[in-house]
Structure 1
Amino acid sequence: MRWPRPGRIRRLVSVLALVLIVWAILCWTFLPYDSPVVLWVHFAVARLHSLFRPPVSAKDWLSIEPRFPVDFDLDVAFIAKTGYGTHGRLLAQLDALDLVVDGETAGNTIVIADFATELQHNGRRVVVHDVLAPLARDKTLVKEKGYERITKYNDMTEAIQAGRNEEAKSATKSFGWELDALKFIPGMDLAYQRLPDKKWYIILDDDTYLVQGSLHAMLDRLDPTIPAYLGNAVGDFKGRFAHGGSAVIISGAAMSLLFDQNRELLPAAYISSLSETWGDKLVATTFQKIGVYLDERFNHFFNGERPVITRITADRLCSPIISFHGLARPEQMAEVGSQFRHVRGLVTWGHLWKLYGRPDISEYITNPIRPNHDHVGRLDEASMDIEHVESAEQCLAQCHGHYKTCLAWTWDGRDKMCHISPWIIIGEVSPGKFSGVNAGRLHHLVGQCTNPRAK
């Protein structure tokens, strides 16, 4: 058997590459922006990029010149999304993030919801805008699939106006997520009309916190005149979207492209919101129609957990972190706000360990076992569960035996289970458990970070 000559192989590879490039160009030229073929190509390119380019570290990011400085008070619009059942969190979030809402248009923040009210905060009038009311008045939606959501909204509104507050709160527990799906597009539209000409627009759930030093360092290095849609990517290639709880960042150029130049798309988006499960996905599919896709280069900047249960993985340890989510109680939001209030500059995922007072990694070399603690946290398919482990020392040995895939371990003496994970969490007191980290590997990984601070 004769093998093809190397020259022929190179020519064949070159021809195949050229065919793929031409095919991609034709797809981009003649197919709609939201064609499944175009979306698949875009998804495949993002996957290839992630395979060959590691996540951006804080050192790499800060080496980029900050050519697009932002002032949060002047250049950024914060869209705080709340609801009747959760609006008790709102004032704690405004305090924690130093967001300013002043009447109808002043300040840097607009509050959108499924009901209307006014609150007082730091001597200012906080207007909560009901962005569903215009949809309820739109008679063209009556015959559309999913109109029951508007009926549920109308019933809740009637209960609120009649003073049946407990009934309204109970209702939101059963269908609040459906009303939430309706809020995104009209809320973004209202924010763009009330707070125009901003460089950036950021959508926040009322249990989301932003690490402002990291956010500042991020936006200072991104061009807001380019249509951009950023966030924590979830979903398949046909509907790849930014997880709303982790914060969604949209450039002013992208907002203008949709709400100035393509407003004819809004009625279809409102119809889709009647049946869409996730409103944050609707943001993505609406932007796809005008050729704005989720930029997945910054996935690892976004986080969807509370600080103490945030999973710190090897590929994110040195990267900036800009968000936390799941701060459902006002005191949780206040605690995180207090923790970060005096932190200046960019914060990495790895910085969380020291910010929350955990021992230096080197201490785990000489004292590797922490009683009544858990550095693994919630288990899933990426963690490993080992049965019939008789001691914490044996669980530690299991972690060392899986050196490249174990960053943390936890042994539960009650059921003799050993759990090891490719991440570490700060963790909380966990009676009956013993835990530790892969100190040798973590020490090596931390050595690759220079712990810079943005200026």
Structure 2
Amino acid sequence: MTLSDFVRGLIGEPPIPSPSHPPQPHPQTANPYANIAQGSGWTPRRRRSTRRFLPRPLRRAIRFLKSNWLSFPLFVIVCFLLGAAVLPYDSTLRLGVRWNWKRLVTGGRPSEEWVLRERPEYEVDWGRDVGVVLKTGYGTRGRVPAWFESVGGWGEVVVIADYGGEMVLGDGGERVVKVYDMVERGLENPILGGLLGHKRVGKYERLTAAVGAKDEELAGGLSKEFGWELDALKFIPGLEFAYQRWPDKKWYLLVDDDTFLVETSVKRFLGHFDPEEKHYLGNAVGDFRARFAHGGSAVILSQAAMRALVKENPKALKTSYLESLDEVWGDRLLAKALIRVGIYLDERYAYLFNGEPPRRSKIRGDRMCSPILSFHTLPQPEMMRDVGEHFRNVTEPVFWLDLWKIYGVPAPWRWDPEMTKKTIKDPKQREEMSRIVLRDVKSEWECLAEYNRRFRASIGTGWAWGKPEPDVCVIFRSAPPFDSEVDAWTLDWDYVGPVDEAVYTHENVASAQDCMEKCTEKAFKTCIAWTWESSTGRCHVSPWMIVGEEVKEQDKVSGFNIRRVRKLERECPTFDGYESRRD
């Protein structure tokens, strides 16, 4: 039998006869009726089809494909998806199919009406329903007091680290916080009993010995050398400990000691979700094989997700303990553990989580009018305290654009001279608004330098020093500022921030005007901010803007694509309550 005959047999077709050997009739079938007439009782028998041995659903599918050959690609795709669905949750094939399917199907952004809803769908009491796991290390333990000061009177917090002890908070020792050694707790798990000779365990033992000997210099050096490796050993034991300590919490938050959470925004955000459903939320990073929530931007797990990980799937938890000895990043280790129990990161809300400090937070066009949940990269205690001073007492969710108002920096695109004329009736008051008064200016030259520095774009109409008071410099302007793109230039400032692969840099740009035109030209539809360096001639254009602050280099001019920013804000959601935030 040839291959073609076998395939035709599968679909119920007779084999193709050979030209040299035409089919010969069976001697008894040449005239079957003659045999019947002779009373033999023999009747011709239908040819057997090999297809009869296939399952009935498959036979039907073959008949369908035979008559509808265009459906074959669809059939292959369905079989592929069904095959992927029965694979383990952490199978590369299944993860790849899920990743591409989500990108194909998930379009647009979920509604944000929940942000300003008077009453959340699921009520959240911060002290009763939320448990916070604060992760630190021996080398960064100095950040913890500032963290507690910045957040104020939070609810229940457990501090986990790579060492154990107690920490006294406040100048008068008003509060004592216990620090739990989660690395030691993890190594006590029987699953790691035969692996205590692992090199990562040896590093932990070296650090423990230095801490026990009170050798601060050695312990600090070791923590700086490999403390990041020990960090991966804290995640799983820390969350397991938190669940055993608070089995009835609705939400579990895992944060670093240089992460600040905006409580009002997070509380309103959590009120949008049912804690009895499995939720894994955070800032998405990594490839399709393990999309994980960036630990520095905060990780949020619901009660159902924690229960599924810690209580209902001990086998997956044991596997994670074993992997913790070699995994580089603890937040990726956590994601892998959750994937094994069928819990994937919900990436629809990743843009709400932030991995930058407030003044360097990248305000992109797709999130300008969205709430912001967290700040990160606050390694110095004074930085954390400063953020706490600005955000600790806010009573409403904080939006990305609110950063300008909170830090007292004028938002250039919001200044409307016509609106100013309508709201301020007194001409004298309008005239006073068009002046800048600088005190403690010691000479006329300093006053002139300030005039030139602030108004190189020819907004100013004049200056005066020593009138009406000594050491006072008055700079006159023809109109309120920021009524055009040129007016929004700021000297010695940077609205772009650190340059990375998303920032396009033009070389040999002659002036700030040319740089601004690079940002506003049609070729760069996504440009929001630009910065020109007069000393190098470089022009950086970015798809975001930052609040920024005065830079030490005295050669930078920065500005915005004013028309684009105004257009983006006009397109912000118009649900009730948001308009009041635009003033």
Same fold (TM over 0.5): yes
Distance across 2 between alignment mates of 1:253 and 1:210? 22
Describe the SS at the equivalent of 1:238. Answer: coil
Matched, 1:412 2:537: no
Residue 81 (structure 1) aligns with: 135
- How far does residue 185 in structure 1 lie from its aligned partner after superposition? 0.3
Question: Which amino acid in 1 is paired with 2:490?
Answer: R
Residue 373 (structure 1) aligns with: 493
Percent identity (aligned)? 43
Question: Which amino acid in 2 is paired with 1:44?
Answer: N
Matched, 1:117 2:174: no
Who wins on radius of gyration, i.e. which is larger? 2
Aligned pairs for 1:45-64 within 5 A: 45-50=101-106, 52-53=107-108, 55-56=109-110, 58-59=112-113, 61-62=115-116
1:227/1:400 Cα in 2 relative to 1: closer, same or farther (>3 Å)?
Answer: same
Describe the SS at the equivalent of 2:168. Answer: strand
* Cα offsets for 1:278-333 (capped at 9, x unmatched): 00000000011110011111111111111111111111112221011000011111
Which is bigger in relative contact order (C-alpha 8 A, separation at least 6)? 1
Contact 2:133 2:252 in 1 (8 A): yes
Distance across 2 between alignment mates of 1:235 and 1:146? 30
Aligned pairs for 1:67-78 within 5 A: 67-78=121-132
Matched, 1:184 2:235: yes
Residue 209 (structure 2) aligns with: 158
Question: Which amino acid in 1 is paired with 2:126?
Answer: F
Distance across 1 between alignment mates of 2:324 and 2:192? 11
Contact 1:159 1:165 in 2 (8 A): yes
- How far does residue 156 in structure 1 lie from its aligned partner after superposition? 0.6
Aligned pairs for 1:70-219 within 5 A: 70-98=124-152, 100=154, 108-121=156-169, 123-137=174-188, 141=192, 144=195, 147-219=198-270
Question: Which amino acid in 2 is paired with 1:390?
Answer: A
Distance across 2 between alignment mates of 1:242 and 1:79? 15
- How far does residue 141 in structure 1 lie from its aligned partner after superposition? 3.2
1:362/1:138 Cα in 2 relative to 1: closer, same or farther (>3 Å)?
Answer: closer
Distance across 1 between alignment mates of 2:71 and 2:366? 33
- How far does residue 267 in structure 1 lie from its aligned partner after superposition? 2.4
Question: Which amino acid in 1 is paired with 2:530?
Answer: W
Contact 2:191 2:318 in 1 (8 A): no
Matched, 1:36 2:156: no
Contact 1:346 1:452 in 2 (8 A): no
Distance across 2 between alignment mates of 1:414 and 1:253? 57
The TM-score, its normalising length taken from structure 1, stands at 0.90
Contact 1:346 1:453 in 2 (8 A): no
1:130/1:145 Cα in 2 relative to 1: closer, same or farther (>3 Å)?
Answer: closer
Instruction: Structure 1: give runs of 5+ residues left out of the alignment.
Output: 1-10, 101-106
Matched, 1:24 2:24: no
Greater alpha carbon shift after TM alignment, 374-383 vs 117-126: 117-126
Distance across 1 between alignment mates of 2:80 and 2:329? 33
Contact 2:114 2:120 in 1 (8 A): no
Distance across 1 between alignment mates of 2:579 and 2:150? 21
Distance across 1 between alignment mates of 2:324 and 2:70? 45
Contact 1:80 1:111 in 2 (8 A): yes
1:441/1:79 Cα in 2 relative to 1: closer, same or farther (>3 Å)?
Answer: same
1:342/1:58 Cα in 2 relative to 1: closer, same or farther (>3 Å)?
Answer: farther
Residue 512 (structure 2) aligns with: 392
Question: Which amino acid in 2 is paired with 1:348?
Answer: F
- How far does residue 49 in structure 1 lie from its aligned partner after superposition? 4.3
Matched, 1:443 2:566: yes
Describe the SS at the equivalent of 1:406. Answer: coil
- How far does residue 120 in structure 1 lie from its aligned partner after superposition? 2.6
From 448, 452, 455, give the equivalent of 2:578. 452
Residue 272 (structure 2) aligns with: 221
Matched, 1:326 2:326: no
Distance across 2 between alignment mates of 1:64 and 1:232? 26
1:202/1:193 Cα in 2 relative to 1: closer, same or farther (>3 Å)?
Answer: same
Residue 355 (structure 1) aligns with: 406
- How far does residue 415 in structure 1 lie from its aligned partner after superposition? 0.4
1:93/1:309 Cα in 2 relative to 1: closer, same or farther (>3 Å)?
Answer: same
Distance across 2 between alignment mates of 1:254 and 1:289? 12
Residue 444 (structure 2) aligns with: none
Distance across 2 between alignment mates of 1:316 and 1:286? 30
Contact 1:391 1:413 in 2 (8 A): yes
Contact 2:114 2:272 in 1 (8 A): no
Residue 267 (structure 1) aligns with: 318
- How far does residue 62 in structure 1 lie from its aligned partner after superposition? 4.1
Question: Which amino acid in 1 is paired with 2:161?
Answer: A
Residue 7 (structure 1) aligns with: none
Contact 1:58 1:348 in 2 (8 A): no
- How far does residue 417 in structure 1 lie from its aligned partner after superposition? 0.7
Contact 1:232 1:302 in 2 (8 A): yes
Question: Which amino acid in 2 is paired with 1:329?
Answer: Q
Matched, 1:434 2:557: yes
Contact 1:313 1:422 in 2 (8 A): yes
Aligned pairs for 1:226-245 within 5 A: 226-245=277-296
From 55, 62, 66, give the equivalent of 2:120. 66
Question: Which amino acid in 2 is paired with 1:423?
Answer: W
- How far does residue 41 in structure 1 lie from its aligned partner after superposition? 2.1
Contact 1:376 1:420 in 2 (8 A): yes
CA RMSD of superposed structures (Å): 2.4
Distance across 2 between alignment mates of 1:146 and 1:418? 54
Describe the SS at the equivalent of 1:112. Answer: strand
Question: Which amino acid in 2 is paired with 1:39?
Answer: L
Describe the SS at the equivalent of 1:254. Answer: helix
- How far does residue 20 in structure 1 lie from its aligned partner after superposition? 4.0
Describe the SS at the equivalent of 1:215. Answer: helix
1:318/1:49 Cα in 2 relative to 1: closer, same or farther (>3 Å)?
Answer: farther
Aligned pairs for 1:333-352 within 5 A: 333-352=384-403
Question: Which amino acid in 2 is paired with 1:414?
Answer: S
Contact 1:145 1:275 in 2 (8 A): no
Distance across 2 between alignment mates of 1:21 and 1:146? 48
The TM-score, its normalising length taken from structure 2, stands at 0.71
Distance across 2 between alignment mates of 1:337 and 1:249? 21
Contact 2:191 2:321 in 1 (8 A): no
1:13/1:350 Cα in 2 relative to 1: closer, same or farther (>3 Å)?
Answer: farther
* Cα offsets for 1:213-261 (capped at 9, x unmatched): 1101110010100011111111111111000000000001010111111
